[in-house]
Structures are given as structure tokens and as C-alpha cells.
Amino acid sequence: MKKYLALGVVLPFAFPMSAAHADDNAVPLLPALVVTGTASSPLKGLGATDEKAGTLTAPGVAETQTNLSKMPGAVAVVPADKFKDKYAANLEDTFAFTPGIFARKRYGQEVRLSIRGAGLSRGWHLRSIELLQNGVPLNDADGSGDFQEIDPLTLQHIEVYRGGDGLQYGGASLGGAINLVTPTAHTAKAENLLRVDGGSFGTIRGHAEVARIIDNVDFFASMTGLKSDGYRDHSKEDTARFAGNLGIRLNDIAETRFYLSYNSVTQELPGTTSLNAAINNPEAASAGALAGDQQRNARSVRFANKTSFAIGDNAQLDIGAYAGYHSLFHPIYQVLDQGSSNVGAFARYTDEGALLGHRNVVTAGMRYGYTSLIGNNYVNVSGSRGALLQESRQISTTAVLYAENAFYVVPTVALVTGLQGINATRTYNTTSATTGISKNDDADFTSLSPKLGVLWDIAPSMQAYANVTRSYEPPIMSDLTQTLGAGTQFTPMDPQRAVTYEIGTRGTAKLVAWDVVAYRAKVEDELVNFTTAPAIPAATFNARHTLHQGIEAALTLDLGEFVMPGALPDGDMLSFEQVYTYSQARFEGDAVYGDNALAGSIPHLYAAALCYRSHQGWDIAPKIDWVPRGGYVDYANTKKAPGYAMLGIEGGVDVTPALRLFVEGRNLTDKRAVTSYTTVATYVPGSEIFYPGEGSAVFAGFTATF
């Protein structure tokens, strides 16, 4: 701990000197309000980048790529153009070609999401990844996350910060952070946009956008409506979403932006099935899901404000706050009837100046979150409330201070130091309806997490980097409140801690773009989950010593120019895009499981696409998604999920500059597969823990701008 405190003492001295701009050699960043620079970035890749400039509160894609390239770690920018010709309904559809991320659909918007094996055993929702929207936390204050408020059609781009690189937003988790960025009127594709798509499984979706700039005011609003019968029985969904923002330029150096969103999600749950049923009868719902008419029906509203100030030529201060309410009616093993309130505030300061005559870049900030959840548990009577079993209230708070400093020892090499401090509290009050007994439990967690790294700018569009980061994650409320019999009980858990080492390179040359990183994380008291019975939230235990390590690689090749230079028509491009992730997560000398693999760990993931883009406005891309081995489903390592390979194709054509048609085919060979599962301690044949993959499907639609 002394070395962590020493780093914390050293860091702050760099910040005032940087902010003061000790000499005139500082490298300018952004104009006071509107950013127009489009400098080459190692994160740009071979494809065209949307060059629309953003504003002080909301940078554009090219600006984001340039800013993220200053980080000595595994980061990525996923422009919305990457999934514009897909039926993108959840995060699985957006991250198909992002290395290091495992995302597989369970149902609807619900996915099994893991970065570097963090939270890989999580049977539902999200942990170990900080989820944000426009830099504002989406997670509850305890760190748990939900996917129901995410609409890929409202995204401008996605920022991915793997591992300790999430420190840019105060995160210091094993998985990292994901920031979902929505358009403004300055970055929207058009003043008006209409999109309609649909296809297999009775799916139809409509989406509309409007964007306007009026003097010093701009606004953007979008609405999406979706109806689908789903691939499996009892998996209908009906969603309605609104998202909008209003920006006001206060003066030459300040801008404020208000965000408002509303989501209504009605979702039937098909449940998990046995391996035999998943392969031979994948469309069937589980008997338990049908008998309990299992559903997940959510309503949410969220409001946020972000105000940004340009301080001099090179510094920026962002401050803001958010508030939201989420209601949930969730018949599963019991009927969960919940309402939760989320409030929080944040501040973030960035500055590029000089320290001792050298270029110096500072990021510092704070965030505070408070979540209060009031819930009642009832007996599930065919999807309706039966007798009241339990009343409870959960309160979580998290306060974070963070700072990161990049000191350029020479013009092309930066030494990066960082520090995060966290304090988190958990309070649980419960009253049994049958006995009348009330219980009050609480826990609190405090820690410091340092970071040390180096960034080498080999060329303007080529970098290498290395870093070491400590992560610290308090248990989330569902780790501490475990289901036992008819109710839940507070179960004390230790925080999860890890030290992660990372080395990588990224860049773009004339014919190739790459992003390759290797990492190794030594984890203590990892919070891992196992299912006790179908539809019951997974129990959690601390695995004392575990190891996560792997390789994350993306490679895009201008195949046309490489193989047959000059043969394609001017403006045409034939590219070959590949993404490969190797991941190993295992116990180390565990008293029960020895050096077994952690359940849920997928060793190999590979995806590839061969894309032809014509200067005449059409493109086509056959694809493959290959999981050679599905990984162990149990900690005893007695059963592996089968691997699979799925073929697909997508493409589109610009009929006019304002009208685009697109089509997507999925799983063209109708491969029967298991794409996700819940984890168990020891597999018992016939266990209903598997989610079947969807069969062959075709989706098509159009986008019109005017």
C-alpha cells in the first residue's frame, strides 16, 4: 500500500504545473468550441471515418479517435457505420469485430458481455464493466449494469476501454469501460432520417430522427419502436424508446447539453434448456418459463446534463449530473417488483500543456453515484403476483477520485502515471412477510489503485504501449444478497482485486490496419457466479487466486491493392477484416478446483469478413463467426459447450444520395449451436443451463434522409 500512496503523492505536483503552461511549447488541442481537426490517428483504420466535427460537449468520431490515441492501452472506437447495414438490436451486433469483447445474446437486448473474462460467469445482466452513455454512468452505483436502455440505432459511436484504460472515466475494474455516444445535431447524418427494417421471426422496427441547429441552440431527437415474435417460443418483445439532447452555446468558451431518454420494454423470457433440447429443439421454451409466464418488463426515464468550459487554448472542464428512475416487473422463480432511483454527479478536467519544458497531458476527475432500490418479492402464480414473501430496500453509493498524467520524456515517448481512489457503501434492509422479522446489514469498501504506463508514437499513425494497472471492485448488491429458499440473505463478500500487465501496438499503414495486445492479470478474491437452479439468480463466491491472460488482435488488409494493385475500378476497395481473441481464465491452486479453467471462459473467438465497396455506392460482405470450443460450463471442468461456426452476409446499395437499401443474412447454414449458458459448480446431465443460438434469418430495410 505504501507504494500506492507514494504514487498518489507524486502525481498531483504535475497537474498545477501543466495547467499553468510553463512555457510556449505546449501542443494545442481543440479550438474553444467547435473541433475541426482530422489528424491521422492510429485508431482510424482503413475505412472512411465520419469527419463531422462535434462541439465542446460532444466530439465527433475523428476527434475521439485522435483523443483516444493518446492513451497507453487497449482502446477502440466503433463507429455506427460498422453496424449500419445490420439488424443491430443489442451489443452483440455492435461488437462483432471488436477484439477482446465476448458478447452473445441471451434474449432481446440481454447479452452475456465480458471483457478479458471479467464477469464471464455472470448469468444475467452485467458486472465488472463500467457502462456509460455520453460519459455519464449508466450502471447503478454498486457497479451492476443493465442492457435494456441501449438502442444501437441512436449511437454515433462506441468507445471501448479495455482493462485499466477505463481510468479515463474513473473506472478501475478488471473489464474496463464502454462509453456509448449518441449524435447531436452537429454530428447527425441529416436533419431528418427515417429507417424501417425487419424480417425473420416476425420482426419489424421503425426509427426516426430529427436534428436542427438554430443560432446558438441545437437539438437532436430519435424514436424507435420494435415488435418481434422472437426465434424461440415465449420470446416476444415490444419496445418503445425515445432519446434526445439539447445543446446551448452559452458564450465563446462554454456549452451546456441536456439529455433525456425514455424506454419501455416488454419481454417474454424463453428460459434456459438442456443441451439436448438446445441442439435438437432450439425453438422451444423451457417448461419453467412457460409455467411461470416468465417476463422482464421495464420502464425507465433518465435525465442528464453536461456543461463544458474551454479554459485557455488547451484545457477543458466538464461538469454534470444525472437522475433516473427504473421500474421492473419480473416474474421468474418469484415475481420481482422493483423500483430504483439513480442520481449522481461528475466532473472531468483535461489539459495539454508543458511541464519542465516537455509536453504534458493531464486528465483528472471525480464521480459520485447513489442508487436506492425498493423491491417486493411475491410468489409467482402463472406470471402474476401471489402471496407477498419479502420486502427490501437496497442502497448503494460509490465515490471516485481519479487522475492520469502523460509526461513526454521525448517528443514521441510519454510516461503515464495514474491513480484512482474509491469509497463504496452497501446497505440492505429486508423484512420477511411470513415471520415479520427485519434485518439490517451494511458493508463499505475503500481503496487506491495506481497505474503506470509508457506510450511510444512510432509514427503519426503508428504506436506501441505498455502498462501495469491495479483494479479494485467492491461486490455488487446481487453478490451480497443471495437467494436462499423463499427470500434473500445478506452474504458478506470480499472485494475483487487484480494487477494487470499489458503490452500492445496499433496503427494504420497504406494497406493494413492493426490492433494487437497481450495481457496478463493476477486476480485475488475474484467474484464468480454459479447457478443453483434455473431462473434463480446465481450465487457468488470469492475465488482466492485466479489468472486471466490472453491476446486480442484485429487486422484489416486492403486485399484488392495488395493482391492485384490497380486492377479494381477507381474508388473501389476489397478489404479483409479479421478479429481474433485468445482468452484463458483459470484458478490457481484452489483448494477445491486446483488449476481448473473458470466456467464460462471461451478460449478462442474468431470473426472475419471479406468486404467489397464500390464507388457506385454498393457493398457486400460475407462473414464468418467461429467459436472452436465453447468452454467449460462448470468449475469442476467435466462438461464443455460445443463449438460452432456461423456464416452470414450483409450489404447495401445507395439508390440515391438520400436513400439506402440494405440486407443481412445470418446463420445461413442453419447451424444448431449453444451461444451462451449459465455456469454451475458441477455439471449434471440434463441440466437446463443452455441458451440456443438463433437459426437462419434474413433482415432487410431502408434508410432515408431528407
pLDDT in tens, 334-392: 999 999 999 999 999 999 999 999 999 999 999 999 999 999 999 999 999 999 999 99
Residue-averaged pLDDT of the chain: 89
> What average pLDDT does this structure show over 637-656?
96
Does position 1 have pLDDT exceeding 90, yes or no?
no
560: its cell numbers: 484488392
DSSP state of 507: E
Listed residue (152, 204, 235) closest to 694, CA to CA: 235
pLDDT at residue 25, as a whole number = 34
Helix (H) or strand (E) holding 478: helix 477-480
Per-residue pLDDT, averaged over 315-344, amounts to 95
pLDDT at 9 over 70: no
Residue pLDDT, tens place only, 82-134: 998 899 999 999 999 999 999 999 888 888 899 998 888 776 778 889 899 99
Instruction: Name the percent of the chain lying above pLDDT 70.
Output: 92
* Residue whose C-alpha cell is 465515490: 399
The predicted pLDDT at position 204 comes to 98
SS3 for 32-88 is: CCCCCCCCCCCCCCCCCCCCCCCCCCCCCHHHHHHHHCCCCCCEEEEEHHHHCCCCC
For the segment 516-542, the average pLDDT, to the nearest whole number, is 82
Location of C-alpha cell 457493398: 619
Task: For the domain covering 2-705, report its CATH number.
Answer: 2.40.170.20
The DSSP call for residue 437 is -
Phi, psi of 676 (to 5 degrees): -160, 165
CA distance 512 to 508: 6
Residue 30 pLDDT level (bands cut at 50, 70, 90): very low
pLDDT value of position 532: 65
Q: What pLDDT, on the 0 to 100 scale, is given for residue 540?
A: 83
Residue 16 has pLDDT above 50, yes or no: no
Q: Could you give the percent of the chain with pLDDT greater than 90? A: 75
Q: Residue 144 in contact with residue 124, Cβ under 8 Å?
A: no
Q: Report the candidate in 255, 262, 188, 215 with the shortest Cα–Cα distance to residue 34.
A: 255
Q: Which residue has the cell 457497479?
A: 143
Burial of residue 322 (number of CB atoms within 10 Å: 0-12, 13-18, 19+):
buried
Quick check: 552 pLDDT over 90?
A: yes
DSSP state of 175: S
| 173 confidence band (pLDDT: 50, 70, 90) | confident
Q: How many CB atoms lie within 10 A of CB 5?
A: 12
Q: For residue 41, is pLDDT > 80?
A: yes
Q: What are phi and psi of 497, to 5 degrees?
A: -130, 150
Q: What is the pLDDT of residue 486?
A: 55
**pTM score above 0.75:** yes
Residue 137: how many other CB atoms lie within 10 Å: 27
Which pLDDT belongs to residue 15? 35
Q: pLDDT at position 34, please?
A: 41
pLDDT tens digit sequence for 220-245: 999 999 999 999 999 999 999 999 99
627 DSSP β-pair partners:
644
Q: Does the structure show a pLDDT above 70 at 530?
A: yes
Count the neighbouring beta carbons within 10 Å of the beta carbon of residue 427. 18
- Specify which residues 327 forms β-bridges with: 299, 339
Quickly state the pLDDT bin for 11 (edges 50, 70, 90). very low
491 pLDDT tier (thresholds 50, 70, 90) = confident
pLDDT digits (tens, 9 = 90+) for 239-270: 999 999 999 999 999 999 999 999 999 999 99
Q: Which residues contact 410 (CB under 8 A, 6 or more apart)?
A: none
**What stretch of H or E contains 278?**
helix 275-280
Q: Is the pLDDT of residue 533 over 90?
A: no
Pair 512, 575: CB distance under 8 Å: no
- For position 187, what pLDDT does the model report? 94
Decide if pLDDT at 212 tops 90. Answer: yes
Asked if the model's pLDDT at residue 29 lies above 90, the reply is no
**More reliable by pLDDT, 107 or 669:** 669
pLDDT of residue 38: 40
Most confident of 115-129, 137-151, 273-287: 273-287
- Please give the Cα distance from 15 to 576 (Å, whole number): 44
DSSP secondary-structure letter at 64? H
